Amino acid sequence: MALDSKTPKGPVADKWTNHKSKINLVSPANKRLIDVIVVGTGLAGASASATLAELGYNVKTFCFQDSPRRAHSIAAQGGINAAKNYQGDGDSTHRLFYDTIKGGDYRSREANVHRLAEVSTNIIDQCVAQGVPFARDYGGLLDNRSFGGVLVSRTFYAKGQTGQQLLLGAYSAMNRQIGRGKIKMYNRHEMMDLVVVDGKARGIIARNLVDGKLERHSAHAVVIASGGYGNVFFLSTNAMGSNVSAGWKIHKKGAHFANPCFTQIHPTCIPVSGDHQSKLTLMSESLRNDGRIWVPKNIEDVKSIREGKLKATEITEENRDYYLERRYPAFGNLVPRDVASRAAKERCDAGYGVNKTGEAVYLDFAAAITRYGKEQAHVKGLDENDSALVKKLGQGVVRSKYGNLFQMYEKIVDQDPYEMPMMIYPAVHYTMGGVWVDYNLMTSIPGCYAIGEANFSDHGANRLGASALMQGLADGYFVLPYTIGDYLADDIRTGKIDTSLPEFEKAEAAVKVQLESFVNNNGKNSVDYYHKKLGKIMWDKCGMSRNKKALTEAIAEISALRKDFYKNVNVPGTTKEFNEQLAKAGRVADFLELGELFAKDALERNESCGGHFREESQTPEGEALRNDKDFTFVSAWEYKGEPSKAKLHKEELKYEEIEVKTRSYK
Amino acid sequence: MNLTLKVWRQANAKAKGNMENYSIADISPDMSFLEMMDVLNEQLIGQGIDPIAFDHDCREGICGMCSMFINGEAHGPDRLVTTCQLHMRKFKDGDTITIEPFRALAFPVIKDLTVDRSAFDRVQQAGGFVSVNTSGNTQDANAIPIAKHDADKAFDAAACIGCGACVASCKNASAMLFVSAKVSQYALLPQGKVEATDRVMNMVKQMDEEGFGNCTNTGACEVECPKGISLENIARMNREYLFASLKG
């Protein structure tokens, strides 16, 4: 069955403007009669909650953390894109739109991406008005930097803490509305299920994580802003609590899940150090502005390094292989993430990895330190040939740009990155796939919306750096608050939704059964035991490089693991208390289903595109080979009782504005 | 390495708590402190003992959720790090480590090492914002130039992660460093000036109502702050508060 994205007609550049002026509105007096639930308080959820409350809706917002400010958007480092063209380097809405489609390897919906590029400039204005302290130059104007996959500087930033500052901005906007009573905030609450009444989303069952009580909450619309599902890999750069459960629960209630296999493996993360590892730490892509990536040219040098006989700094220039600069001269170290990750894997698989595990490459700042140092010496009228002075001045510049990242690296690895090159390796970071939504960001359940990383729409098969923050805030501040009115306009006479309806009762009872079964299971293995096993299957068989055989095995193994989980998992404690293991068990149960659908989706898509690399589909040089003839569509899966029975719906992707080309960064 | 851990156990807010001793073996110096706690919890689950509840999320030092008082210091012996970024290489084989929650009247214990810091949220709700609606018609971001020096200072204040280490470290359980960081961020920026008077009055009022203690300038908060928030912010807030009181 074909899916209808409800994309408005007309030229792509006019669609959003025309759509906004034609959709239904809810009058200010009627907005007071309408309740909206928002699940999640990252950039998308917090900005949507604040804006919906400003408009006059009664908002109830939920987060599982102890405060909305903890949501994992806080950890985004590098920056946020916007087509401001403040640098006068040829940027425009069209160029941001084009870069994002191309970066996504022609697997995203054109109209959504254009809208994203259009509202990007408003985001910066809004955030500055809120008091977000972006980096500025000496003239007092906003500064920009460059990110991967583009040829302009359009990234706004606040040191290496851009996500933190943007989230605190959205959190402050929420706080203002909480103070006014327009948002009722539920901290330490987890959404356990969606309640559907007469085919419409009408509320949720939530669990108070402090006392374990189940609660019924009703609303006229439910917005899912619960982020991505990278933790299906166990090890990822996501927060420990990041989970797919809200998205998965609505999937099981009828929302299609789109492109689950589109995962971003980020090239610059701190390598795994041992079995005890609980999470991986990102080193911002912004570092690739100034860092050069390399491995030794000679395998003997690699051996000496691993044996501790040779230091990276002792290898001369001619014996280094700056493989990104070599393979992709036009973009060099700033190729998109999927390309950079695969190139690192290729070198490490060939035996050139530079740490004990053989899974690390160098990210080297020596050249940048010298360059900046000379510039500073020149500005200050000092001796440009005094290498110690130049190094000191250069390190100062690098510290001011990336200080917190360097400190983080040093604390984790116990090595000084100002003196020695960093060691990095790719890690799971972001999921482009997610809940399928139409142009209005509504899922296939009427009245249920998905925004931010939780949906699938804007990044295709690969997301460009600094675009996640842009999409989260675009959806929450500038898109959803308009489009939700189109649906709610029919609900002005509905009145409060009664939580004693049988649908609420049934949903709550089902949740209770699952929770009780976990704590009464008395199995022998902990929840983490299963999560780690799942993660290993995912990384080994559905990771950076995928093939038919491994994916088929993964499906069988995950299915078997899930059965074993329900039989043998051990969840201590009771359902009526603060019980972290119980909360985790529910999340892992959902990952065990999603993982299988992920592998099934990856198997079905027998082409390489963006972050999805199928070994069967590559060029003789080993570059990804897309198959536009057979795969220019979104895979949207409908739940049919279990992942193996999921039914595929295709949304054909039509490109009216952009010519579909082979993606090349050479 | 092998360690002895003395950990605060408390079943819930109303229950009486006590310190329990646990032994743990084969800890790698490369582990983070929370990874060591993960190992301990797996061990406890295996022994049929209730695992230790502790708050944590991002594990990269930015969300502000982790909150342990280790050997008498908020976030432990290392400087400028949160508990999740503290590594076991800071300890020695055979050490005894004491682990307690962040203690303060305004931070009641929920369970074990988990405390309720929602008082911080309420202080922010009292005035930690600029009253600007989302409209898509705000003026261009470059319409107001802001001196780099001021923007950088505002950023330094805004870097606060709201973990509560300042409160836990203060003998009076004062929240002055936390509140002053937010007040300072906006006081340093033109966008925040319009509401400056109301903001500082309302936030301080809420802070007092939450039961945080007074500031006696010991400076312990600054020492233990994982983000290096400066005492200068407290001085700035006192100045703002004085001006606001004179105006009001």
pLDDT computed for residue A37 by the predictor = 98
Q: Calculate how close chain B gets to A482, using CA atoms only, in Å.
A: 11
A596-632 residues labelled b (16+ CB within 10 A) or e (exposed)? bbbbbbbbebbbbbbbbbbeebeeeeebbbbeeeebb
What pLDDT does residue A273 have?
Answer: 87
Question: What are the strands, taking DSSP E only, across A91-211?
Answer: 155-156, 183-186, 189-197, 200-208
Tokens of A179: 């103070």
Residue numbers of A between 604 and 663 with CB closer than 8 Å to B: none
Any residues with CB less than 8 A from the CB of A523 and at least 6 apart, and which? A567, A568, A569, A570, A571
CB A663 within 8 A of CB A462: no
What's the rounded Cα separation, in Å, for the pair B221 and B176? 9
The rounded distance, in Å, linking the Cα atoms of A634 and A614 is: 17
8 Å CB contact of B191 and A128: yes
The Cα–Cα gap between B113 and B9 comes to 7
Distance CA A132, CA A231 (A): 30
pLDDT tens, A619-654? 998 899 999 999 999 999 999 999 999 999 999 999
The token duo for B175 is: 């929240």
A439: buried, middle or exposed (CB in 10 Å: 19+, 13-18, 0-12)?
buried
Q: How many helices (H) and strands (E) does chain B have?
A: 9, 7
Residue A121 near residue A84, CB atoms below 8 Å:
yes
- According to DSSP, the residues that pair with A269 across neighbouring strands are A282, A425
Mean pLDDT over residues A35-59, rounded?
Answer: 98
Those of residues 153-182 in B touching chain A at CB distance below 8 A are 154-155, 158-159, 161-162
pLDDT, one tens digit per residue, over A197-253 is: 999 999 999 999 999 999 999 999 999 999 999 999 999 999 999 999 999 999 999
Q: Report residue A148's pLDDT band, with 50, 70 and 90 as the boundaries.
A: confident
pLDDT in tens, A436-491: 999 999 999 999 999 999 999 899 999 999 999 999 999 999 999 999 999 999 99
From residue B210, alpha-carbon distances to B105, B106, B107, B194 in Å are 9, 6, 9, 26
Q: Is the pLDDT reported for residue A274 higher than 90?
A: no
Cα–chain center distance at A314: 38
Smallest CA-to-CA distance from B30 within B83, B87, B106 is with: B87
Q: How far is A599 from chain B (nearest CA, A)?
A: 27
Among the listed residues A69, A154, A292, A337, the single catalytic one is: A337
- Residue A51 reports pLDDT greater than 80: yes
Instruction: Read off the pLDDT of residues B124-143 as tens digits, 9 standing for 90 and up.
Output: 999 999 999 998 889 999 99
Look at B62 and A526 and tell me if their CB atoms are within 8 Å: no
- Name every residue whose Cβ is closer than 8 Å to that of residue A198 and which is 6 or more positions away in sequence: none
Q: Assign A463 to helix, strand or coil.
A: coil
Q: What are phi and psi of A268, to 5 degrees?
A: -115, 85
Boundaries of every domain in chain B: 3-111, 117-133+141-247
For the four alpha carbons of B212, B214, B220 and B223, in that order, the dihedral sign comes to: positive
Q: Which structural domains are found in chain A, ordered by start?
A: 266-428 (no CATH), 500-626 (1.20.58.100)
By C-alpha distance, the chain B residue nearest A279 is: B59
Cβ within 8 Å of residue A445, ≥6 positions away: A194, A196, A199, A200, A201, A250, A253, A254, A255
Alpha carbon separation from A662 to A196, A265, A628, B211 (Å, rounded): 43, 21, 10, 63
Residues A30 and A26: their CA atoms lie apart, in Å, by 6
Instruction: Specify the pairing of strand B3-9 against strand B96-101.
Output: parallel
Residue B213: which pLDDT band, with cuts at 50, 70 and 90? very high
Rounded CA-CA distance B156/B77 in Å is 23
Q: Write down the number of H helices and E strands in chain A.
A: 19, 19
Contact A320/A294 with Cβ under 8 angstroms? yes
- CB distance A66–B28 less than 8 Å? no
Q: What angle do CA A61, A63, A68 make, to 5 degrees?
A: 85
From chain B, the residues in CB contact with A572 under 8 A are 45, 48, 50-51
Is residue A41's pLDDT more than 70?
yes
Q: For residue B58, list chain A residues with Cβ-Cβ distance below 8 A.
A: 70, 72, 74-75, 239-240
Average of per-residue pLDDT across B60-72: 97
The CA distances from residue A238 to A154, A165, A168, A330, A377, in Å, are 25, 18, 18, 31, 41
Output the pLDDT for position A1. Answer: 52
Region A579-587: what's the mean pLDDT?
98
- Please say whether the beta carbons of A107 and A146 come within 8 A: no
**What would the two tokens of residue B242 be?**
């004085």
Angle between helices B118-125 and A162-179 (to 10 degrees): 70
Residues in chain B with CB shorter than 8 Å from the CB of A531 are none
d(CA A483, CA A488): 9
d(CA B26, CA A366): 37
Chain A residues whose beta carbon lies within 8 Å of the beta carbon of residue B53: 578, 580
Backbone angle region of A452, left / alpha / beta, with phi > 0 → left and psi within -120 to 50 → alpha: left
Mean pLDDT of chain B: 97
For domain B117-133+141-247, the CATH class is mainly alpha
Mean per-residue pLDDT, A34-45 = 98
The band of A257, judged by pLDDT with boundaries at 50, 70 and 90, is very high
Within 10 angstroms of residue A297's Cβ, the number of other Cβ atoms is: 17
Quote the CA–CA distance of A19 and A440 in Å, as a whole number.
Answer: 10
Token match 């104007």: residue?
A141
Backbone angles phi, psi at B102, to 5 degrees: -70, 115
What is the rounded CA–CA span in Å between residue B49 and residue B39? 13
End-to-end, the C-alpha distance of chain A in Å comes to: 39
What does the pLDDT read at residue A410?
94
Note the pLDDT of residue B142: 97
Query: In DSSP terms, which residues pair with A449 in a beta bridge?
Result: A223, A442
Give the model's confidence band at A2: pLDDT under 50 very low, under 70 low, under 90 confident, else very high. low
Report yes or no: A135 at the B interface, CB cutoff 8 Å: yes
Residue A622 per-residue DSSP state:
S
Provide the mean pLDDT of chain A: 96
Q: What confidence tens digit (pLDDT) does each residue in B139-196 have?
A: 999 999 999 999 999 999 999 999 999 999 999 999 999 999 999 999 999 999 999 9
E strands of chain B, at which residues? 3-9, 18-24, 68-70, 73-74, 96-101, 109-111, 114-115
CA distance B161 to A580: 23
Contact A39, A451 (CB under 8 A): no
Contact A59, A183 (CB under 8 A): yes
Bridge partners of A434? A258
What span, in angstroms and rounded, lies between the C-alpha atoms of A196 and A654? 32
pLDDT number for residue A665? 86
C-alpha A155, offset from chain centre: 17
> Contact B147/A526, CB-based, under 8 Å?
no
Asked whether the beta carbons of B84 and B32 are under 8 A apart, the reply is: yes
For the cut 90, the answer to whether the pLDDT of residue A9 exceeds it is yes
Which residues, 6 or more positions from B239, have their beta carbon under 8 angstroms from its beta carbon? none
Residue A241 has its nearest CB partner, among B38, B57, B126, at B57
Query: Which of A99-103, A250-254, A396-400, A581-585 is least confident?
Result: A396-400
pLDDT cut 70: percent of chain B above it: 100
B147 touches chain A (CB under 8 A): yes
The DSSP bridge pattern shows strands A422-431 and A263-269 to be antiparallel
Q: Please write the tens of the pLDDT for every residue from A368-398.
A: 999 999 999 999 999 999 999 999 999 999 9
| Closest Cβ opposite residue A411 in set B85, B139, B146 | B85
Catalytic-residue membership of A337:
yes
pLDDT per residue as tens digits for the range A301-353: 999 999 999 999 999 999 999 999 999 999 999 999 999 999 999 999 999 99
CATH 3.40.120.10 correct for B3-111: no
A16 vs A20, A208, A478, A482, A652, CA distance in Å?
6, 39, 11, 11, 20
